[in-house]
Structure 1
């Protein structure tokens, strides 16, 4: 019912076209990314009020997203991306799936993966166990409930994306490490991204935690020549290449 209402409103006629300020229309289109027809209708309904029009657009898109998500639920999601993010002593790895590789390459999909990884990092900061190394795994349902940067649950962000791309999208799973002083964490994805973002994307990913050896121990002779960041990256590459679970 919501979906039909949304589509009908968004594709109504041009009876009020001349009443809409074209400069407002261009600004709203650029800011929200919605079609000119949708932005025009939003401005018509709210007498050219940009703020109200934008809010209405987001509300309608969210409603359509949830309707579409319900309809597409259960369709296989064999493609997707692994996201890895590291912030000092915390590292997280997330898996988000979609139906096609085309959507996996979509910037909007990658933005969702980045949002999921960032939400996991924020969640990890609040966890205190007193252990030298904390490892926590999150299933799909737990991931959906985590808040995004705007405070809305990730399930809302996912539904909005589903409404946009027209494919089923699933927050599959996540894991994070939280290390105490003296323990290092690193992450890597393959294929390696062309440029470094706050979240690395790839088909495969790995996290590793390791501890620097004390000066004077024999092992130091073999690893001291490698910078810590490079060592962590090499370990992750080895894990991905050999499909190792435990070193």
Structure 2
């Protein structure tokens, strides 16, 4: 299989490895991106980081909060200049407000009449494209709600009220004091923004993700040449660490650097006056999963060739 520049580019963005290492990995794995990623990691060249960590796009994350519910929306623009435009920011803010009254799907939000306007969200964006002269899209949205309790929110790198680069929702179900719930909820949301956990609990991590990690750790441990029973213990130890680092409730709370998140929520029950259950969380970072422009990579290759 021919290893194209675009394949090398994609693997490089996902792994952070050098171009030659990426090309070698792809060659060794017949152009299979996922297999090449695993190969790089097994060789210690790439870290087990989120694939979305090295990609970016412009625009804003919008957030809106209601009674026991909250939403996040991502509206993309072509340039950061437009993301700072007051008209664009107003549209993102009103799109989030509109999303509160829907099921949280992009389709429902796009079709709904935008808050404070007469047209749908989709038509409002179309009009703005014509006015501002740059493409804009409602890329995704998420909504969390609880029967009793709060959905706490946090916006990192805020660009204005309810606008920013990373938005987080944390749903806490409880009959306790709303102020106490909001306080611990915001702290957990800040933690999520910082650590980007894969899931709330170990059971929620997809089996294929866990299996893939185990396969990588097994290959790494096998290279040590140690007996099978020792290798098995090494792998189990690394898997425990993987779950501790990837599962929200098992992570060390960044607020104090000592307590596990699960225990921090448990400790908050005293102030709340009732049990607290984490029902879910959403972390939405601007540009997650969107490839960079092809010409950025081409320019980099050209620059390297000159040198």
- Please classify the TM superposition score into its range, dividing by the shorter chain length: 0.5 to 0.7
Match of 1:131 in 2: none
Return the offset for 1:148: 1.1
Contact 2:158 2:165 survives alignment (8 Å): no
* Number of residue pairs aligned between Structure 1 and Structure 2: 143
Match of 1:234 in 2: 187
Offset from partner CA, 1:30-49 (integer Å, 9 cap, x none)? xxxxxxxxxxxxxxxxxxxx
Contact 1:187 1:233 survives alignment (8 Å): yes
Unaligned runs of 5+ in 2: 1-55, 201-307
Contact 2:71 2:104 survives alignment (8 Å): no
TM-score (norm 2): 0.43
Match of 2:114 in 1: 148
Offset from partner CA, 1:94-117 (integer Å, 9 cap, x none)? 100000011111111110111111
Unaligned runs of 5+ in 1: 1-76, 124-135, 215-223
Match of 2:243 in 1: none
Match of 1:211 in 2: 173
Offset from partner CA, 1:19-71 (integer Å, 9 cap, x none)? xxxxxxxxxxxxxxxxxxxxxxxxxxxxxxxxxxxxxxxxxxxxxxxxxxxxx
Please give the secondary structure, in 1, of the residue aligned with 2:100. helix
Match of 1:244 in 2: 197
Work out the CA distance in 1 between the residues paired with 2:198 and 2:155: 15
Match of 2:70 among 78, 88, 91: 91
Match of 1:169 in 2: 136
Match of 1:186 in 2: 152
Return the offset for 1:192: 3.6
Work out the CA distance in 2 between the residues paired with 1:205 and 1:92: 9
Please give the root-mean-square deviation of Cα atoms over the aligned residues, in Å: 2.3
Work out the CA distance in 1 between the residues paired with 2:63 and 2:198: 17
TM-score (norm 1): 0.53
Contact 1:239 1:245 survives alignment (8 Å): no
Contact 2:152 2:169 survives alignment (8 Å): yes
Match of 2:44 in 1: none
